Amino acid sequence: MDMSVFDLFKIGIGPSSSHTVGPMVAARRFLLDAGPLDDVVRVDVALYGSLALTGVGHGTDKAVILGLMGETPQDVDPDQVDTMLAAAEAQKELKLLGTHAVPFSASVNLQYHKTENLPEHPNGMRCTLQRANGSVLSKVYYSIGGGFIREEGEAAVGDAKPAVKLPYPFDTMSQLLGHGVTRGLSIPQMLRANELARMGAAQLDAGLDRIWHVMRDCIAHGLQTEGKLPGGLDVKRRAAGLWRQAQGKEHANELPHDALHQVSLYAMAVNEENAAGGRVVTAPTNGAAGIIPAVLRYYAEDCRPSDPVAGVRNFLLTAAAIGMLCKRNASISGAEIGCQGEVGVACAMAAAGLVAALGGTNAQIENAAEIGIEHHLGMTCDPIGGLVQIPCIERNGMGAVKAITAASLALKGDGTHFVSLDEVIETMRQTGADMQAKYKETSLGGLAIHVVTVNHAAC
């Protein structure tokens, strides 16, 4: 499995890794691969399936335009996005990769095929350009979850053989546990060794520290920012107000679980930032981006680690291992297997990471991850209005608390349990395959339909 920790944790912007980050990367890649652009006279992008059905709510239209302009998720300034897009629409033109101008209007050059899916994945997009001599170049890309993309016919990230020889290759948890028994190493030690086959220790540690820094900043910004989220639902940001109550003890109905209450607020703060199009870390997706940062902050502040720097790095390496296995053997795309592949996987990653950071055994790490997924099996992805707000924000708060509970259960045992992580990942894959399409990020079923219907009836 050729996948790195930095494939699972990518710095980008909200609100969706599959509908924002992936399409932005794909649109830019299309132009980079197209060759000279000075004779291009027209560019069109057609969106299919889930990208078409919930694309506007998830910011796919904006992301595609930004990608065509040459912007990247990790470098674009979230505070300048609306200004850049408004200027382009007012001028009715885009500068492709920031250089060559062509006529462009979102209402003309973006097409939505809501009743049609492309064959390889529900998140499909076709990019087309026409040159002055009449020749046409067209390519299909799929946004397969977590910001990963692939061109039509291309192998998915992680499916190919590693470009370098890894000391501890694995495609299943059973294989990884086997390496641990044979070599007497922990899961974070083995993941670290695999990463060091690709890069130096200083680069690896700086990258991991950077991921945690961005996560921590995202929590802090979300705990200070109030107002309403964009998109038309008028959803009020709650994390800042609830955080102020928790700090000031202003609320009369306190419960004796302040630490866990704060964890849920950390997660909600991140996902409110995500819903507002802010800077987040895909972990493993944007829709589930709050769980791992919340549990990491709980570890760093409430678990009183003796070496928090090393603990955070071990947490991220271990969490990445679980994410790799889920992506390789099932999916992390809500459009493919529902929210069990997003919030469920993030919960499992966080639970495993916390156990590793606290010095748990490999068996306890595997147990924690299995618990995290098992208790999200069958969770649908049914965002109201196609927005990553309801129920997504609260689901992250609940997922973070469940991750800590899973870690606690695993640490109190010896790692022995009935269902293996490999078995529950396969169960998640089969459950997603059996799930009706209307429950997989289409906003055609579940809460998305029920709430809208009720609201219309009330009007």
User: What 3-state DSSP class applies to 209?
Assistant: helix
The dihedral through the CA atoms of 221, 225, 228, 233 has a sign that is positive
Supply the DSSP string of 47-96, one letter for each residue. EEEHHHHSTTTTTHHHHHHHHHTT--TTTS-GGGHHHHHHHHHHHTEEEE
CA of residue 121 relative to chain centroid, distance? 17
- 109-146 burial, b for 16+ CB within 10 Å, e for fewer? bbebbbeebbebbbbbbbbbbbbeeeeebebbbbbbbb
Q: What are the residues facing 128 on neighbouring strands?
A: 44, 138
Collect all residues with Cβ–Cβ distance below 8 Å to 331 and sequence separation of at least 6.
144, 145, 337, 341, 429, 432
Structure-token match 């462009």, residue found: 104
Name the pTM for this structure.
0.92
**Alpha helices, DSSP H, located in 115-224:** 173-183, 187-196, 201-222
DSSP3 helix / strand / coil % (the chain, rounded to 5): 55, 15, 35
CA of residue 46 relative to chain centroid, distance? 23
Amino acid at 46: A
Alpha carbon separation from 10 to 207, 232, 352 (Å, rounded): 10, 28, 19
Give the per-residue pLDDT at 257: 60
Cβ(310)–Cβ(206) below 8 Å: no
HSE-CB of 114 using CA atoms within 13 angstroms: 10
HSE-CB of 326 using CA atoms within 13 angstroms: 42
Give the per-residue pLDDT at 248: 76
Pairwise CA distance, residues 341 & 379, whole Å: 8
Q: Would you state the torsion angle of the CA atoms of residues 89, 91, 92, 98, taken in this order, to the nearest 10 degrees? A: -90
Pairwise CA distance, residues 326 & 422, whole Å: 9
The superfamily in CATH containing domain 17-151 is: D-3-phosphoglycerate dehydrogenase; domain 3 (3.30.1330.90)
Cβ(317)–Cβ(188) below 8 Å: yes
Which of 308, 314, 406 lies closest to 366 in space, CA to CA?
406
Pairwise CA distance, residues 407 & 75, whole Å: 35
CATH 3.40.50 at 173-452, yes or no? no
Q: Burial-class residue 445 by CB neighbours within 10 Å (0-12, 13-18, 19+).
A: middle
Domain ranges of the chain: 17-151, 173-452
Give the per-residue pLDDT at 457: 34
Pairwise CA distance, residues 11 & 184, whole Å: 33
Pairwise CA distance, residues 324 & 102, whole Å: 40
Average pLDDT across each block of 10 residues of the chain; the chain has 459 residues. List them in order.
93 94 97 96 97 92 97 94 94 95 96 95 96 98 95 72 88 98 98 98 98 98 96 93 81 60 96 96 96 97 95 98 98 96 98 98 98 97 93 97 97 94 98 96 90 44
Q: Burial-class residue 455 by CB neighbours within 10 Å (0-12, 13-18, 19+).
A: exposed
Q: Which long-range contacts (CB under 8 A, 24 or more apart) does 32-36 make?
A: 32/97, 33/139, 34/129, 34/137
Supply the DSSP string of 214-250, one letter for each residue. HHHHHHHHHTT--SB-SSSS-PBP-HHHHHHHHHHT-
Whether 173-452 and 17-151 are alike in CATH topology: the answer is no
